[in-house]
Amino acid sequence: MTLHSILRGHPRVVDALLSGELQGTGHHAYLFTGPVGVGKRTTAFALFAFVNCRSEERLTARRACGVCRSCVRIERLLADDTVDAPPDLLWLRPEGRQIKIAQVRKLLTVVPYPPIESRVRVVVVDPADRLGDEAANALLKTLEEPPRSTRFVLITSRPANVLTTIRSRCQRMRFGHLPDDAVREVLLAQNVPADVASQVAPLAEGSVSSALALIDDPVVAARGELIDRLLSIVSRDTVATFAFAQTLAELGGNLPTALTFLSQVHRQALLARVGVAGSYEAPARRLASGLSPESLMRRIDVIEETRTALTEFNVNPRVAVERLALVLTAGPGEEQAVIVARPRAR
């Protein structure tokens, strides 16, 4: 199930939230920060589910039951975010480009009163970096003197864009990337075929939204072909090496994805080479049989250097991938030598 896969992926955040609620030491306003697509909003909804679950079991099991009326409504909302949220879950989203002052004013007319049908009202501001200054300032006073039965959850992947005065009134909860198996479980719950889910989950860097975007990415479909082609190049075959570089360069905007799976297969090979038990795909096993751990680490470093050079320093992609292709097709232990020697294409 989506909810529990995501919660298992963020054990420290979830434990802190539950302990705060159960021991009465919880904060009234949280700032959830972390990458896009890792489950921050889902966790905010889960907080609502937990504090309002009608089953007594929630106290011992430390989780919402999933079957009471309150839980069922949250499950429905998680499956389809166009259905109405429960009346005590106030979900503030941008109307147009920003969350507007009028939306916050409307919220402030409700918040002083007790929740309508739940123990605790939860106000989710998502994303908090889209609060206009006026709207943020209007919210500030309520964050300073919050009603007892209300929790605020402000969500952002760009905390620097949230007013300092707002940030300072919230307890920050840092979300990391989800583990690959959690991403895979969430995809399966969303009816993605198992083979596709297994293929894209390790490429998604812990983000469900990245994984969903990758499903439609043509370069993902060509992954096996690209890796097989790399492995077929005999070292010092300069023509084949530069043709491979050209193929990479022609990927354009898809190049970062290709770098991710080149990195992934070399990391798998490294694990296999140093004897970590696991089921490795054939190309990883082949790389592991021909290269030392040092060679594999050097290759992984150069893949990551290439990624950084392309994304942060805006270097000429052609030059960057030629250097990369030379390293990835070098003989065992010759990675450093090809960088220094820089053979020419013609």
Q: Is 235 exposed, middle or buried (0-12, 13-18, 19+ CB in 10 A)?
A: middle
Residue 68 touching Zn ion (CB under 5 A): yes
Residue nearer to Zn ion on the CB measure, 53 or 325:
53
Residue nearer to Zn ion on the CB measure, 55 or 149:
55
Q: Which pair of tokens denotes residue 272?
A: 């296999």
Q: Which of 16, 22, 65, 188 binds Zn ion (CB under 5 A)?
A: 65
Residue nearer to Zn ion on the CB measure, 64 or 183:
64
- The CB-of-62 to Zn ion minimum distance in angstroms stands at 13
Residue nearer to Zn ion on the CB measure, 64 or 173:
64
Interface stretch with Zn ion, choices 47-55, 149-157, 242-250, 273-281 (CB under 5 A): 47-55
- The CB-of-73 to Zn ion minimum distance in angstroms stands at 10
Interface stretch with Zn ion, choices 52-60, 101-109, 191-199, 244-252 (CB under 5 A): 52-60
Q: Which pair of tokens denotes residue 258?
A: 């290709």
Strands (E), 39-166: 89-92, 121-125, 150-156
- Residue 131's SS3 state is strand
Interface stretch with Zn ion, choices 5-13, 66-74, 129-137, 268-276 (CB under 5 A): 66-74
Residue 204 touching Zn ion (CB under 5 A): no
Interface stretch with Zn ion, choices 57-65, 89-97, 128-136, 320-328 (CB under 5 A): 57-65
- The CB-of-17 to Zn ion minimum distance in angstroms stands at 16
- Omega prior to 127 cis, within 30 of 0: yes
- The CB-of-87 to Zn ion minimum distance in angstroms stands at 17
Interface stretch with Zn ion, choices 48-56, 108-116, 186-194, 269-277 (CB under 5 A): 48-56
- The CB-of-217 to Zn ion minimum distance in angstroms stands at 38
Number of Cβ within 10 Å of residue 6's Cβ equals 27
- The CB-of-119 to Zn ion minimum distance in angstroms stands at 12
Residue 155 touching Zn ion (CB under 5 A): no
d(CA 302, CA 308): 10
Note whether 30 and 154 are within 8 A (CB): yes
d(CA 39, CA 159): 16
At residue 210's C-alpha, the angle toward residues 305 and 283, to 5°, is 55
Contact residues for 338 (Cβ-Cβ < 8 A; gap 6+):
326, 327, 330
- Residue 98's SS3 state is strand
d(CA 276, CA 49): 39
Interface stretch with Zn ion, choices 65-73, 121-129, 196-204, 296-304 (CB under 5 A): 65-73
- The CB-of-213 to Zn ion minimum distance in angstroms stands at 33
- The CB-of-126 to Zn ion minimum distance in angstroms stands at 23
Residue 71 touching Zn ion (CB under 5 A): yes
- Residue 321's SS3 state is helix
Q: Which pair of tokens denotes residue 166?
A: 């707002």
- The CB-of-71 to Zn ion minimum distance in angstroms stands at 3
Residue 22 touching Zn ion (CB under 5 A): no
Residue nearer to Zn ion on the CB measure, 55 or 98:
55
Contact residues for 82 (Cβ-Cβ < 8 A; gap 6+):
none
Q: Which pair of tokens denotes residue 75?
A: 């499950």
Number of Cβ within 10 Å of residue 181's Cβ equals 14
Q: Which of 53, 124, 270, 287 binds Zn ion (CB under 5 A)?
A: 53
Q: Which pair of tokens denotes residue 190?
A: 């969303």
For Zn ion, the binding residues (CB under 5 A) are 53, 55, 64-65, 68, 71
